Amino acid sequence: MLEVETPRDLARYAGEALGASGWFTVTQEQVDRFAALTGDHHWVHVDTERAKAEMPGGVTIAHGFFVLSLIPQLAKDIFQIRKRGKGLNYGLNRLRFTAPAPVGSRLRLRQRLLAAESAHGGTLFTFENTFDIEGRERPALVAEMLLLIFD
């Protein structure tokens, strides 16, 4: 894990890979809870019986936005800023769901710090986030995300 004192210290890593998180196992319970929160009850996510007959591998798949929502949790494995103020999600420049994440699969987050610049009294970071699926060539998603972190 990369540990730095301040957001400005993290900015020195612009252009570099920061590392990878530990593996996270996707469960049906998590997918069902996400469906309940978002109202997205499409059968490919929640109907395990139908998935057995109609889905590749016979299992449901995680919502793409569920996978995306794992960034804050898994990024804690990759870097830590010891002295920092609030952090604000500033949006996405690009997001692609490149492969389904089946229930039961293991995912990990890899982050690269693409850029860092002073903005709005803090540092605006641009991260490339890639979610690997264990044992598969294609990642579940790739997202270029902006995060504004204050000192």
Q: How many domains does the chain have?
A: 1
Residue 123 in any domain: the answer is yes
Residue 101 in any domain: the answer is yes
Residue 58 in any domain: the answer is no
Q: Tell me 60's DSSP state.
A: -
Residue 139 in any domain: the answer is yes
- Three-state secondary structure readout of the chain: CEEECCHHHHHCCCCEEEEECCCEECCHHHHHHHHHHHCCCCHHHHCHHHHHHHCHHHCCECCHHHHHHCHHHHHCCCEEECCCCCEEEEEEEEEEECCCCECCCEEEEEEEEEEEEEECCEEEEEEEEEEEECCCCCCCEEEEEEEEEEC
Ranges under pLDDT 70 in the chain: none
Residue 45 in any domain: the answer is no
Q: What is the pLDDT of residue 65?
A: 98
Cα–Cα distance, 21 to 78 (Å, whole number): 6
Residue 104 in any domain: the answer is yes
Q: What is the pLDDT of residue 24?
A: 98
Q: What is the pTM of this model?
A: 0.95
Supply the range of the domain harboring residue 125.
2-25+71-150
Residue 51 in any domain: the answer is no
| Length of the chain as a residue count | 151
Residue 59 in any domain: the answer is no
Q: What is the pLDDT of residue 96?
A: 98
CATH number of the domain bearing residue 84: 3.10.129.10
